[in-house]
């Protein structure tokens, strides 16, 4: 069973996750034209790269990404290379996930960007675990998806009802065109939904335990100890034994 657990963990981490994040990176910037239904690829703006860096820091704090264990001198070279490749795909998938829910231009683009930036920056100073982080990300991306692909898409749709057209004309008149946004085919919303669902699934798979015993122990101090290299573990044990009283150390040495 331990061998099967190790193989499944390697399959998820080295094959499934990179393919999942690569797919998100390709679909996050994909749009469908409303005129001739052709595919349009929109490169991620600079703000999405900044948001991706902030979210990667949160993933590290939430222990979904563990640099010290994934990239280490104790690992074989091919494992370090595979982990680096997986982290690169995760970064670009994160940027494209933001790209899929950000309006393409105008005042709404900067309003959404400020909302994401403020939320992620505040979370840098709060305490949370992996489960709470995943729940907050689902709410964050879900809210942005509903606002862009449901409310705003219905508002700017040319074939919507008279109320939608009237509201759109009023908003454009009040904002002097600053709320203007390109209109895409409804298929764009389906592509964005699939990309976001795939991205969240990839984050859930990050919690899949690899061939390591750290998940079997619940205390964070013990987990940090198990993530150390053998020489560092030996140094920690020597410090702990040095702080014990003399009879306890003699008893421990007799038992060993």
Q: Are 132 and 251 members of one domain?
A: no
Q: Are 128 and 232 members of one domain?
A: no
Percentage of the chain beyond pLDDT 90 is 34
Q: Are 104 and 173 members of one domain?
A: yes
Q: Are 34 and 94 members of one domain?
A: yes
Q: Are 161 and 61 members of one domain?
A: yes
Q: Are 26 and 121 members of one domain?
A: yes
* Confidence tier at 74 by pLDDT (50, 70, 90): confident
Q: Are 232 and 207 members of one domain?
A: no
Report pLDDT for 220.
61
Nearest to 140 by CA among 180, 183, 94: 94
Of 122 and 3, the one with more pLDDT: 122
56, 87, 113, 121, 175 from 49: Cα distances, Å: 10, 14, 11, 14, 28
Q: Are 177 and 235 members of one domain?
A: no
Nearest to 232 by CA among 67, 60, 69, 70: 69
* Position 239 pLDDT exceeds 80: no
- Tally of domains within the chain: 2
pLDDT (tens digit per residue) in 32-41: 988 888 999 9
- 197, 212, 227: which is the final residue of a domain? 212
Residues of the domain holding 237: 215-256
Q: What is the Cα–Cα distance from 44 to 29, expressed in whole angstroms?
A: 7
Q: Are 37 and 56 members of one domain?
A: yes
* Position 212 pLDDT exceeds 50: no
Q: Are 125 and 243 members of one domain?
A: no
Report pLDDT for 94.
96
* Confidence tier at 157 by pLDDT (50, 70, 90): low
Question: Worst-scoring range by mean pLDDT, 110-114, 148-152, 229-233, 243-247?
Answer: 243-247
In b/e form, how buried is each residue of 189-224, taking b as 16+ CB within 10 angstroms?
A: bebbeebbebbbebbeebeeebeeebeeeeeeeebe
Q: Are 237 and 204 members of one domain?
A: no
Q: Are 125 and 9 members of one domain?
A: yes
Percentage of the chain beyond pLDDT 70 is 73
Report pLDDT for 163.
47
Report pLDDT for 217.
42
Mean pLDDT across the chain: 79
| Mean pLDDT, range 205-213, rounded to an integer | 59
Number of neighbouring beta carbons within 10 Å of residue 119: 15
């Amino acid at each position: 069973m331990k061998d099967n657990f190790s193989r499944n963990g390697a399959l998820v981490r080295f094959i499934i996750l990179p393919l999942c994040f690569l797919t998100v990176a390709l679909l996050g910037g994909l749009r469908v034209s409303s005129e001739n239904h052709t595919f349009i690829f929109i490169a991620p703006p600079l703000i999405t790269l900044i948001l991706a860096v902030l979210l990667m820091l949160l993933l590290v704090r939430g222990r979904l990404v563990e640099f010290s264990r994934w990239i280490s001198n104790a690992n074989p070279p091919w494992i370090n290379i595979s982990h680096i490749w997986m982290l690169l795909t995760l970064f670009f998938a994160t940027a494209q996930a933001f790209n899929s829910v950000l309006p393409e231009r105008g005042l709404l683009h900067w309003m959404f960007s400020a909302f994401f930036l403020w939320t992620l920056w505040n979370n840098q100073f709060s305490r949370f675990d992996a489960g709470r982080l995943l729940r907050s990300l689902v709410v964050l991306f879900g809210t942005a998806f509903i606002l862009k692909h449901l409310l705003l898409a219905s508002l700017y749709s040319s074939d919507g009802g008279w109320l939608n057209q009237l509201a759109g004309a009023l908003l454009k008149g009040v904002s002097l065109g600053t709320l203007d946004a390109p209109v895409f085919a409804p298929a764009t919303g389906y592509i964005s939904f699939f990309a976001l669902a795939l991205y969240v699934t990839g984050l859930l798979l990050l919690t899949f335990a690899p061939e390591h015993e750290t998940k079997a122990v619940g205390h964070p101090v013990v987990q940090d100890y198990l993530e150390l290299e053998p020489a560092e573990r030996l140094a920690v044990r020597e410090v702990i034994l040095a702080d014990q009283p003399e009879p306890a150390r003699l008893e421990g040495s007799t038992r060993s």
